[in-house]
Structure 1
């Protein structure tokens, strides 16, 4: 009698916005490596997710490429700094997916369009409904919803300083959105949720919880 085939575990995938999620949001483009300044605790949060078996991918709109304010060599240098700083904390980003277009281009990959997320789903072989998406803007949530992913809003970056009521007004625009204080809180939520699914005791510290 043949031995039973091992059960294949689904790859766990979380997709993050970049500016305002991993690094401080700037009104200007992050054009130089030294301008990429990680948010407190963000690199540790990525490392913690990695250690818990999560693959982390970045999906970012970079219209400066389309307008000529950025070039790929400069953007690659910025992401090299990001990866070097992450490596020092024991973390990694598996891939960075970029939309280089301006709003006028009418592409399908500029968030809130779902194109980047659909390509990530195809590349990693993970169904969209099993992908966690987190960002600091409504367009991140809208892209997640359009692709069928799980939306999470972080109170960092462009949400920093907003009142509970203002954040709730953003989150309610996309069904199923959960709100977390920062990337650390999101990591805690995902890890604890998995533990609870396995029947392990855990408590939540993910901000003020879900908004539906």
Structure 2
């Protein structure tokens, strides 16, 4: 089968058995197995290699994505694939035994205009009682469109669209966003016959309150896809407007309380606000309690969380409006920031002599390719020789000017003049230079890719929320290579990875 299966995971111990079952089904099911299975280790501090279950065979390999969230993990997975199709599965689903064969049948002979194929998801619910509020929410996955619990895309479509939008840091909305962009680009999305089961995960008392963080992601969807995105994504209108009224009523009562303590006339305002808040909260709680199971524990949970959810939803909505106030459509990195020494030019320790500048072979061509595609270019470089007294700031600027003579215009230069013990915020692996460069170019750090030759470059990228690509040299340690989420053998190959994740018109 000309398909790779990508499974992001953060290595949760509770899902070890599920992942074992999943890999066994993919490798040992009847029919043609996937060409390759890529498990993406998305732990922020992976440490030891992710232990694969005993069922994992030679078709399975692990890549690391640096703990940047499910969207970035899936991007790392499909970029590492080399097949026509890439199928994405969650690490907590259970495929039917015939899933590989039915995937092959779903993808066989699809016309070129079909860019994706969605599987069918079943959520098992209890037979002996009505489902809880959390179970009902999970059951919504059965009717959700384009969810990556089981979704396959042509690799060429992923490359054209720039993959998943990495501004979505949670497993929420990133799949709908990709599907809407695929439809906008003229690709059709089909529904296949393969089936998976999505068990209901255990959820704590406050799970429904934590889920309100998705309101910030909804702002990004609105910014990118317009006010009609819910209709296009087959999403309901939600309860945000009612949550606004509930929160406003509660704030009014709180704000009027000091006045009421001094003046009786404020009492009416307090009573009106408190009454409206109580009525709206009671209605919300009743709607969640009525379907069942109405056990004492479930009723208590619904009463408490229904009082908290409206304000939590509004808080996350405001956070989304602030964070995504300048959001534009996703097209992969808009800026590429390079380390200087041993990445763009040969490393000459503490070099202050422009005559000793020697570009790395292929550097000019790699930068010109980015320029032709409208990608802006910057350099972020540690220059501790200034703090050591070996070179001056003027020496660094003269060397940088010579670099531009060889490699062409650089849109932004940032260099750190401090030494390792100065505890500054700009010296890599701290993110200061990346954040400053992004601000000067009017983009977010998440709109940037960073290409460098040592682990500090990649750590700085991760700390800033940017994509990091390591191009190892003779001084790159093996441990740095092992920890890098993405590596490329040459500078040109790194640029290929950046351009392969962009959409160009």
> Which secondary structure state, in structure 1, belongs to the residue aligned with residue 483 of structure 2?
coil
- Structure 1 counterpart of 2:422: 105
Q: Distance in 1 between matches of 2:337 and 2:361?
A: 19
Give me the whole-angstrom Cα distance separating, in 1, the residues matched to 2:449 and 2:405: 24
Task: Say which SS state the counterpart of residue 501 (structure 2) adopts.
Answer: helix
Instruction: Give 1:24-43 correspondences, 5 Å limit.
Output: 24-26=346-348, 28-43=349-364
User: For the residues of structure 2 that align with 1:117 and 1:192, how far apart are their CA atoms?
Assistant: 22
| Shift in CA distance, 157/61, structure 1 to aligned 2, threshold 3 Å | farther
Contact 1:42 1:184 survives alignment (8 Å) = yes
Q: Unaligned 5+ residue runs, structure 2?
A: 1-326
**CA distance in structure 1 between the partners assigned to 2:444 and 2:482 by the alignment:** 24
Residue 413 of structure 2 aligns to a residue whose secondary structure is strand
Q: Give, in whole Å, the separation in 1 of the partners of 2:364 and 2:475.
A: 19
Corresponding residue number in structure 2 for 1:210:
none
* CA distance in 1: counterparts of 2:386 and 2:397, whole angstroms: 12
Q: Is there any run of 5+ residues in structure 1 with no aligned partner, and where? A: 1-6, 201-212
Deviation of 1:112 (Å): 0.5
Looking at structure 1, the residues matched to 338 and 347 of structure 2 have their Cα atoms a distance apart, in angstroms, of: 14
Task: Report the TM-score, using the length of structure 1 for normalisation.
Answer: 0.76
Question: How much has 1:158 moved relative to structure 2?
Answer: 2.5
Whether 1:170 aligns to 2:489 is no
Determine whether 1:189 maps to 2:497: yes
Q: Assess if the C-alpha contact under 8 Å between 1:33 and 1:78 holds in 2.
A: yes
Match of 1:19 among 337, 341, 344: 341
* Aligned equivalents of 1:157, 1:119: Cα separation in 2: 29
Q: How many residues align?
A: 177
- Residues 111, 8 of structure 1: CA spacing in aligned structure 2 closer, same or farther, 3 A cutoff? closer
Give the number of the structure whose alpha-carbon radius of gyration is greater.
2
Does structure 2 conserve the Cα–Cα contact (< 8 Å) formed by 1:19 and 1:157? no
Q: How does 1:1-212 map to 2 (within 5 A)?
A: 12-26=334-348, 28-87=349-408, 92-156=409-473, 158-159=475-476, 166=478, 169-174=479-484, 177-195=485-503
User: Residue deviations 1:157-196, cap 9 Å, x none?
Assistant: 633xx7xxx3xx324435xx2111121111122223225x
Secondary structure of 2:497 counterpart: helix
Structure 1 position 78, deviation (Å): 0.8
Matched with 2:281 is: none
Say whether the 8 Å CA contact 1:156–1:182 is kept in structure 2: no
How far the C-alpha of 1:17 sits from its partner, in A, is: 0.3
What RMSD, in angstroms, separates the aligned Cα atoms of the two structures? 2.2
Give structure 1 regions of 4+ aligned residues with deviation exceeding 6 angstroms: 7-11
- Provide, for residues 16-53 of structure 1, a one-character-per-residue CA deviation record: whole Å limited to 9, x for no partner: 10001001123x21220111110100111111111111
CA distance in 1, matches of 2:447, 2:412: 18
TM-score (norm 2): 0.33
Contact 2:363–2:407 (CA under 8 A) maintained in structure 1: no
Write the distance in 1 (CA, Å) between the matches of 2:436 and 2:392.
22
Per residue, is there more helix in 1 or in 2?
A: 2
